[in-house]
Structure formats: C-alpha cells, structure tokens
Amino acid sequence: MPYYQTWEEFSRAAEKLYLTDPMKVRVVLKYRHCDGNLCIKVTDNAVCLQYKTDQAQDVKKIEKLHGKLMRLMVSKETHSGSMDTD
C-alpha cells in the first residue's frame, strides 16, 4: 500500500474510487502526535489509497476532501455525479 506523493493525484483517485461503488468505500483518518503526521486512507477492500502529511496546508485539504466524502455518503441522492472541486 504505497502512499501518494501529491495531493492532486490522491484526491482524484479517492473521488474515482468512491464514485465507482459508494457502498463499499470507507475513509480512515489517523493522527500520530509523536510524529506529527496525519494519514488519510480510502479503501474498498480491493484498492487502498493512502496519503500522509505533516504540513498544515495539506491538513486543510484533507479536511475539505473528508467533508465532501462525508456529505456524499449521507446524502439521499444518487451518487452518479462527480464531486465539485473548489
């Protein structure tokens, strides 16, 4: 399970993975205080996407993507459309 090196690649891959089968995808956030690292993992048990950072601006991006995914997961609409990027 390699980590993505750039945020743009990871966010596009995570969005694509979620939109292929929303019922199987789960998102995990993990913060390690001793390292100062925040890791986000998006998986559907077949594919596992990971991104790790210790930069404050990346933490904001992770928070934004996580919020978008959570809104899609709880919405009652169909998940056929793509997420809009800001």
Give SS3 for 35: coil
**Residue percentage of the chain with pLDDT more than 70:** 86
Rounded average pLDDT over 36-42: 91
Specify burial of residue 58 (Cβ count, 10 A radius: 0-12, 13-18, 19+): middle
The span from the CA of 25 to the CA of 71, in Å, is 14
Q: Which residue has the higher pLDDT, 78 or 35?
A: 35
* pLDDT above 80 (res 71): yes
Output the average pLDDT for the chain.
86
Domains and CATH numbers, the chain: 7-67 (3.30.720.10)
* pLDDT above 70 (res 54): yes
